[in-house]
Structure 1
Amino acid sequence: MVRLSSRCTVAIHALTLLARSGDGQLQSSGEIADSLSSNPVAVRRLLGQLRDAGLVVSVEGHGGGWRLARPARRISLRDAYLAVEEGPVLPGYAHPPSEMCVVGRNMHAVLDEEFEQAERAMLDRLARTTIATMLARVLERERA
């Protein structure tokens, strides 16, 4: 299974939690961090990335917090991924292979093609699932 960084997982979790809060309800970064069992500073940093991507809005001051910037049905997992992930999901070479070898000279380009197609397929799949869908699945599991 391809593993994304924890940033994507945390982003989807936070967005789903905010979707559960309802329209206009604010959640503090501390409340979000509690749900994640995470550090509020790290959560605020990630929420800042989501804000920069137009997925959440922050309200400053006493009683402030975070809420979704648009309805959960209009935020996809792809949106969350693109907001917080940096670089390709599938790793490249840690150092260049040998140019003296026919495999070494060509493997990087061949793997890049494969990895780019795999990442496109993953992004297409993530685009089909919304935060509203995630919330519905979470609540369904809770009821079961």
Structure 2
Amino acid sequence: MAVASRFTVALHALTWIAEMSKENTEHVPSDRIAESVGTSPVFIRRILGMLGRAHLVSVKHGGKDTGWKLARRPEDITLLQVYEAVEQKPLFELHHSTPSNTCLIAKGIRPALNTIYGKAENAMKNQLSEYSIADLLKETLTQASL
């Protein structure tokens, strides 16, 4: 699965859990989240596990209230925190082969791209840090009602 889709699935799941928490639902099962996202409960549990390690969600096993819930208020979870929880690789990667050490372009391309990629990724992260799950929920409900 593509890097961006893990992030999107995580955002969808957290936004759905945030909406369900308004109905005083203590924990929600992964199969209900998976139904909304349109993917398998196993994949949802994998994503939620990553979010759990980042202390963004908590899980309860066994009993009638088995499932997941937000570990923080939706206002306190930024999209950047979600991104960093589910993405292990940088946004942009350099080529995996080693460029020629005799070519002028090959010698300078990696440092040049590292600078550009670093600035682009920082800009994206700054933007993501400005929005919370609560903001995303509000915008999602607005878009859904149009």
TM range (shorter): over 0.9
* Number of residues of Structure 1 aligned to a counterpart in Structure 2: 142
- Aligned partner of 2:107 among 88, 105, 108: 105
Distance in 2 (CA, whole Å) between partners of 1:21 and 1:112 is: 42
CA displacement at 1:50 relative to structure 2: 0.3
Q: CA RMSD in A?
A: 1.3
Using the aligned pairs only, state the percent identity: 35
Aligned mates of 2:38, 2:3 — CA distance in 1: 19
Specify the alignment match of 1:22 in structure 2: 21
Q: CA deviation at 1:141?
A: 1.4
* Residue identity in the other structure for 1:143: S
| Residues 1-144 of structure 1 aligned to structure 2 (within 5 Å) | 4-22=3-21, 25=25, 26-63=27-64, 64-144=66-146
Give deviations 1:53-110, integer Å, cap 9, x for gaps: 0000101113211010000011011010000001111121121211111110111011
Please list the CA deviations of residues 103-140 of structure 1 after superposition, one character each: whole Å capped at 9, or x if unmatched: 10111011001101110110000000110001001111
Distance across 2 between alignment mates of 1:98 and 1:77: 39
Q: Which runs of 5+ in 2 are unaligned?
A: none
TM-score between both structures, scaled by the size of structure 1: 0.94
Instruction: Give 1:39's aligned amino acid.
Output: S
Deviations 1:31-55 (A, max 9, x none): 0110111011111011000000000
How high is the TM-score relative to the length of structure 2?
A: 0.92
Q: Distance in 1 between matches of 2:133 and 2:111?
A: 35
Separation in structure 1 between the aligned mates of residue 35 and residue 81 of structure 2, nearest angstrom: 23
**Where in structure 1 do 4 or more consecutive aligned residues deviate above 3 Å?**
none
